[in-house]
Amino acid sequence: MSRIGRRPIPVPAKVTVTLEGQRVAVKGPKGELSRELPPEVVVMREDASLLVNRANESRRARQLHGLCRTLVANMVEGVDREFNRELEIQGVGYRANMDGQTLVLSVGYSHPVRIEPTPGVVLEVKDKPGEAGKKVNQGTVVVVRGIDKEKVGNLAATIRSVRPPEPYKGKGIRYSGEQVRRKEGKSTGKKK
């Protein structure tokens, strides 16, 4: 039995779950999500929690057990409190602005890069606080928020892929708290 798959999913009081065959619909204060699950797993309600079980012991059912439990748990968590992903922009002259709902990135290319948010995802640009709360680096933090964890993660990865951090100076777009392995540059000493 999958360790992840057999864990119950607690359902908060503010969240309602509707089960119709293989379709799971979750509604909460932040919005509503629904997903069609494969026939190899069965979702059951037990008191104030949900249980995801296998329909049979086939190989595919064993593979999907933990995945489906995690997908349903992310749906319940997303409608209760949003997911967010922060990205930091590092580099001289690198910054982000908002043009309506569109994110505009100036990251060293000859043109600004425009990124449209996917439906259900909100983009926001913040200033990175400096010493003693001063706003030093304006427009260097991008926040991606939404109730669907998959959409939030995909849009954050798309933004990061515009200019991934390079290993010599560390310039580029990185996830908040991401460690970039730095390389030593070429030495210019005389050859003997």
Tens digit of pLDDT for each residue in 61-114? 999 999 999 999 999 999 999 999 999 999 888 999 999 999 999 999 999 999
Same domain, 169 and 89: yes
Residue 44 belongs to a domain: yes
Residue 36 belongs to a domain: yes
Same domain, 92 and 170: yes
The pLDDT, as a whole number, for residue 113 is: 94
Same domain, 48 and 37: yes
Tens digit of pLDDT for each residue in 130-189? 655 565 667 789 999 999 999 999 999 999 999 999 988 889 999 998 888 888 888 776
Tens digit of pLDDT for each residue in 8-25? 999 999 999 999 999 999
DSSP for 74-116 reads: HHHHHHHS-EEEEEEEESTT-EEEEETTEEEEESSSSS-EEEP
* Counted domains in the chain: 2
Same domain, 74 and 155: no
Same domain, 63 and 112: no
Same domain, 58 and 110: no
Same domain, 159 and 147: yes
How many C-beta atoms lie closer than 10 Å to residue 175's C-beta? 15
| β partners of residue 103 | 98, 115
| Domain that residue 27 falls in | 9-80
Domain stops at, among 61, 80, 99: 80
Token pair of 127 as six digits:
């200033």
Residue 189 belongs to a domain: no
Same domain, 92 and 157: yes
Share of residues in the chain with pLDDT > 90 (%): 72
Tens digit of pLDDT for each residue in 100-117? 999 999 999 999 999 999
Residue 136 belongs to a domain: yes
The pLDDT, as a whole number, for residue 23 is: 95
CATH code where residue 14 lies: 3.90.930.12
Same domain, 129 and 68: no
Task: Tell me how far apart the alpha carbons of residues 160 and 153 are, in angstroms, rounded to a whole number.
Answer: 10
Token pair of 120 as six digits:
């259900």
Residue 100 belongs to a domain: yes
Same domain, 66 and 88: no
